[in-house]
Amino acid sequence: MSQSYVTEEGLKKLKEELHQLKTKERPSISKQIAEARDKGDLSENAEYDAAKDAQGHLELRISKLEATVRNAKIVDRSQLDASKVSILSKVKIKNTSNGKQMTYWIVPETEANLKEGKISVESPMAKGLLGKKIGDKAEVQAPAGKLTFEIIEIGQ
C-alpha cells in the first residue's frame, strides 16, 4: 500500500476506530458465531452465515485500517506553502458562471466529510484547485460539465 497522508487528528481517529473494531466488534462477532454454531446444522443456519459474512467484512476493515495506520505520514501544516492551494488548505472559491462562493478544506482522503466542508485531496474538485494561487482560475470536470472557479482566499 502506498503512503497515506493524514493529520495528527485524523491518525488519532483511525487508531481509535481500529481499537474499537479489535476490542469490541471482533469479540462480539465471535460470540455471534459461537451462538449460531450452537443452534445446530450449519448448512442451513442463516444466522451463522450472516455472522461469518459480518466477520469477513470486519476483518477486511481492520486489515485496511492497519495498513493505513502503518503507512500513514503526518502532514505538518507549518511546512506547507500558504501562497497556493495544497493539502490542508482552506480555500474560498467563486463559481465564475453564477458568482456563488464556497469554502472547502482540502484534506486527506480518510478525513473527507462534505457536511463539514472537507473534501478529499483525491476528489476532482481538489485536484482542480491544487497548486493554484489567489486570483487563479481552476477548471473542474463535474458530472454537469466543466466548471470554472476563481480562487478568492487561501488559509491554513
Q: What's the chain's Rg over C-alpha atoms? A: 22
State residue 80 phi and psi, 5-degree precision.
Answer: -90, 145
User: Which residue did the predictor score with more confidence, 3 or 61?
Assistant: 61
pLDDT tens-digit map of 20-73: 999 999 999 999 888 888 877 666 778 888 888 999 999 999 999 999 889 888
Pairs from 146-153 (Cβ < 8 Å, separation ≥ 24)? 147/95, 147/97, 148/95, 148/96, 148/97, 149/93, 149/94, 149/95, 149/96, 150/93, 150/94, 150/96, 151/85, 151/91, 151/92, 151/93, 152/92, 152/93, 152/94, 152/101, 153/91, 153/92, 153/103
What is the set of domains in the chain, with CATH numbers? Answer: 4-74 (1.10.287.180), 77-155 (3.10.50.30)
pLDDT confidence of residue 111: 86
User: What is the pTM for the complete model shown?
Assistant: 0.66
pLDDT category at 2 given cuts 50, 70, 90 is low
Could you tell me the CA-to-CA distances from 17 to 11, 20, 35, 92, 155 in Å, in that order? 10, 5, 26, 31, 29
